[in-house]
Amino acid sequence: MIIDHWIDGGRVPNSTPDQAPITDPATGHETGQVGLAASTDIDAAVASAKRAFATWRDASLARRTEIMFSFRRLLDDNRSRLAEAITTQHGKVFADALGEVQRGIEVAEFACGIPHLLRGEMTPDVSTSVDAFSMRQPLGVVAGITPFNFPIMVPMWMVPMAIACGNTFVLKPSEKDPAGSMLLAELFGDAGLPPGVLNVLHGDANAVNGLLDHPDVSAVSFVGSTPIARHIYQRATAAGKRVQALGGAKNHMVVLPDADIGQAADAAVSAGYGSAGERCMAISVVVAVGDVGDRLIPAMVERTNALRIGPGMSEQPMDMGALVTAAHRDRVRGYVDLGESEGAELVLDGRDLHVEGHPDGFWLGPCLFDRVTPDMKIYQDEIFGPVLAVVRVDTYDEAVALVNANPYGNGTAIFTNDGGAARLFQREVQVGMVGINVPIPVPMAYHSFGGWKDSLFGDTHVYGAEGVKFYTRYKAVTVRWPDPNERGVDLGFPQAT
């Protein structure tokens, strides 16, 4: 299987022989190749989007909405097909992949309301015979660079909003699991989207930098690690582009002594090991306040030991699948080795996991560390795997100080039955997304997603109302239709009268 680019409404082979392998994480076997774009491919994709913008920006809101509703229906009809593409190239289990598709559909639903979202404001008679109103207009060609861990959902955070606002789009998905983005392009085409409005360009860092430097790209959206987010923000803004670059995370879950232990244990295990920990909103640190750790950790161990780990497309439903590549599996495993050498207590060790019938899969079982301290690398670094660290503190104030001292500010959660403590926490904690007895507080599509500090570079979050702001420019218009009976030259400075 060779995965081509999607340019000008159809599949286009790569202009050079450069390719990267695609593997099934559950088997470790190569299943195909994806082309790595050269400069000619980048220019072709951007040129197609630029040509399409000349007419798409003038498409009526009624036409855009009609396409969005058709696309939403096609997404619903193809849920299983989309989820299978995710599972066979990313490795997450099928049920988790279906959940990813659903969260993407929610953004498409929000984009169906674009006539309301782009509605301006008008103030009549700001002066004699003068009215004022505002509007939002599209930017032009915009690009999206998306990560391997959500090959459907994260592109859906960007593409529907951008094109509904009247822009055209060049999507550069991860080369590790590119099939999902091609399915999205096909479905948009089936929904009636004109050729060139959405282009999919596969590639590596060369393709990313080519889009960042291209003079015809007006804006860039990115989701991925903090070092790359910083690079994209600095390089693209230096080229005069608008940028939203979402980086990494080290999400804390604070558990107060009054919390429901069963609920907190369920949440920690689900949010820590779901999708094998390959989520930017995964809980990677549990902050146990007071003596709650002595009760919480045994409950977490019991639940973790009951997890079913295996191929995501197995006939028997699994809870956790493989990691995306062998290299990433080995990197995460190295952090488990490091945690032991740093002196953390390894309560659960998943390094020797063997999945029957799949000896070459990229497996790593859940790992749980207790008595982790902030000076340890397993606390400081984003591991992005099924490794959960428990840090013990004495008081609520220490817990908040620990979260706020962390350079990341993506998401956090608190588990408690004390409404006053929860209300104080949501005000004091310095992160972009907060959950109260909710471990993964990803906002619904009508709000917006994004962190603080080193988890976000740029001024706006993605999707929701913030997404509309990012993909449009504000324009204020002042209009005078004078009384035809009034004439005369007036050289004075204009004043409201």
Largest CA distance in the chain: 90
Answer whether 283's CB lies under 8 Å from 275's CB: no
Strand, helix or coil at 460? Answer: coil
Nearby residues of 478 by Cβ (< 8 Å), 6 or more positions away:
126, 130, 131, 132
Distance CA 135, CA 479 (A): 13
- 373-425 pLDDT, tens digit per residue, is 999 999 999 999 999 999 999 999 999 999 999 999 999 999 999 999 999 99
What are the structure tokens assigned to 247, written together? 């980086």
Strands 283-289 and 387-393, sheet pairing: parallel
Q: Is the pLDDT of residue 204 over 90?
A: yes
Assign domain 251-436 one CATH number from 1.10.8.100, 3.40.50.1100, 3.40.309.10, 3.40.470.10.
Answer: 3.40.309.10
Residues 4, 35 contacting (CB under 8 angstroms) = yes
pLDDT at 7: 98
pLDDT average, residue stretch 341-357: 97
Task: Please report, in angstroms and rounded to a whole number, the separation of the first and last CA atoms in the chain.
Answer: 71
What is the number of other CB atoms lying within 10 angstroms of the CB of residue 19? 16
Q: What are phi and psi of 463, to 5 degrees?
A: 50, -175
**Contact status, residue 94 vs residue 313, Cβ threshold 8 Å:** yes
| Tens-digit pLDDT profile for residues 169-187 | 999 999 999 999 999 999 9
Cβ atoms of 212 and 201 within 8 Å: the answer is no
For residue 270, which of 313, 293, 299 has the smallest C-alpha distance? 299
Dist CA 156 CA 247 (whole Å) = 18
Nearest-5° Cα angle at 363, 252 to 410: 20
User: Cβ(455)–Cβ(408) under 8 Å?
Assistant: yes
Beta bridge partners of 462: 449
Nearest-CA neighbor of 89 among 325, 320, 279?
A: 325
**Which residue reads 């994209």 in tokens?**
232
The DSSP secondary structure of 101-137, one letter per residue, reads HHHHHHHHHHHTTHHHHT---EEEEEETTEEEEEEEE
Which position among 112, 165, 280, 367 bears the catalytic label? 280
**pLDDT score, position 490:** 78
Active site residue 280: yes
| Structure tokens given for 237 | 């803004």
DSSP codes, 388-455: EEEEEESSHHHHHHHHHHSSEESEEEEE-S-HHHHHHHHHH--SSEEEES-SS-PPPTTS-B--EETT
Q: Quick one: average pLDDT of 290-315? A: 97
Q: Which two tokens stand for residue 343?
A: 């002196």
Res. 364: pLDDT tops 60: yes
Q: What token pair was written down for 320? A: 């956790």
Contacts of 306 (CB under 8 A, 6+ apart): none
Strand pairing category for 10-12 and 130-138: unpaired
CA pair distance 242, 246, nearest whole angstrom: 13
Whether residue 117 is predicted with pLDDT greater than 90 in this model: the reply is yes
Is residue 497 very low, low, confident or very high in pLDDT (cuts 50, 70, 90)?
low
Q: What is the pLDDT of residues 228-238, one digit of tens each?
A: 999 999 999 99
Average predicted confidence (pLDDT) for the chain: 97
Each domain of the chain, given as residue ranges in start order, spans: 2-247, 251-436
- Helix (H) / strand (E) containing 157: helix 153-164
Element (H, E) at 348: strand 345-348
CATH class of the domain comprising 2-247: alpha beta
Q: For 201-261, list the strands marked E by DSSP.
A: 219-223, 242-246, 251-255
pLDDT of amino acid 457: 98
The DSSP bridge pattern shows strands 5-7 and 10-12 to be antiparallel
Joined together, the tokens standing for residue 336 give 């488990």
pLDDT score, position 491: 82
pLDDT value of residue 496: 57
- Put the strands of the sheet holding 19-24 in their side by side order: 2-3, 29-35, 19-24
Q: Residue 323's closest CA among 177, 190, 195, 450?
A: 177
For 78-103, give the secondary structure using H, E and C: CHHHHHHHHHHHHCCCHHHHHHHHHH
